[in-house]
Structure 1
């Protein structure tokens, strides 16, 4: 697989889509493991609009070898180099009837194991006993996210919308988006394929309008060493 174009896409646009990382059989196996998981734990959240699993690889460990297969590892090694590890994982199941949407934003926080005042880190948030903090900019600039799609996804069932190149603008507030200069792109991804994105890429998603599910495994990677007093909450 020639990944030269994908390296350019990530550097220039902040994202890329790579097809056929998982076979249909692998996708079905991943879905079966998720559907058979015990959903009673605190890491599972279900509403009419979304079913989500936080700390996904910890909550459903049997799914890890299927998601982190040799094809994905080869992509990561060839596009980004060595030394990266998983630092966060979430599973989203957006039902076909969902009205859930996400406004324009960058992913500015990381999950860490404790809250402590450290120069260069902040502001802080806490959700379900999980601490999150905005780290120094260089950490976000080097991190990347892999979104593994278990369903065909387009603008009608909540595909991400992105502003190409916005990751190069450092901290870019939604209220400061210059719509005379920006071009919105829908990241349509087929089942078994992946989208890779930088966390500083400005992105959003719309409500579902075609009654089709959108199931995605969201896995964040880093190679950064954090300040001495804290560590990644989900380092694997």
Structure 2
């Protein structure tokens, strides 16, 4: 199955060899050199995360949006998309952190404003998130850039192929006699592309290997004013 068909039918695909070893090393060095004392930086023994990643470390933008990545976006989604959310996840080799099955049902916005069709609301580390209409989620896509080899032993995503086509799909209603699970193995420097409505989960690490990922969400839509994307950034920077 080609990548375009996989995104449409399965809700995801994996493309390896997008970032070479030098490009990955440059990204890691840039991240490790950042000031990590801000509220948007979260550090525990099981996880280090940077929310609003491109806002906090803007010097990573040209390192991420290399021609090879831009070609992937243009080929599979076309022009007119912009960044709307970015997070860096560093799952250490000894991590017990796991995430159960879920869909990415919220978007990040600058402030809480009552708009019909948007809700419920949550606040995480001073960042407002709201569940938008289904049409917004169906339009968006996510790219996960892997800075380490990732498989079932160090937190590769487990997904339910095709679940993105079923609207809001509550994890507790998954019928495992009808559904199947697939583990998304991604090489260092590779990408996983996925739709937000794809059911996905992540297991604990069992092989002592790290799993560092840059998670970027994109949209071609504008929100109804006065709602505004919290991290809107054109792909040209």
Same fold flag (TM > 0.5): yes
Aligned length: 233
Q: Distance in 1 between matches of 2:30 and 2:166?
A: 39
1:82 aligns with 2:105: no
Q: Distance in 2 between matches of 1:149 and 1:87?
A: 19
5+ unaligned residues in a row in structure 1: which ranges?
none
Q: Distance in 1 between matches of 2:56 and 2:18?
A: 23
- Out of 16, 20, 23, the position equivalent to 1:23 is 20
5+ unaligned residues in a row in structure 2: which ranges?
none
- Out of 187, 196, 203, the position equivalent to 2:193 is 196
The normalised TM-score by structure 2 is 0.97
Query: What's the offset of the Cα at 1:5?
Result: 1.4
Query: What's the offset of the Cα at 1:129?
Result: 1.3
1:215 aligns with 2:234: no
Query: What's the offset of the Cα at 1:47?
Result: 0.3
1:40 aligns with 2:37: yes
1:167 aligns with 2:178: no
1:1-236 matches, cutoff 5 A: 5-236=2-233
Query: What's the offset of the Cα at 1:116?
Result: 1.4
The normalised TM-score by structure 1 is 0.97
SS in 1 for 2:108: strand
Query: What's the offset of the Cα at 1:101?
Result: 0.2
For the aligned residue pairs, the C-alpha RMSD in angstroms reads 0.8
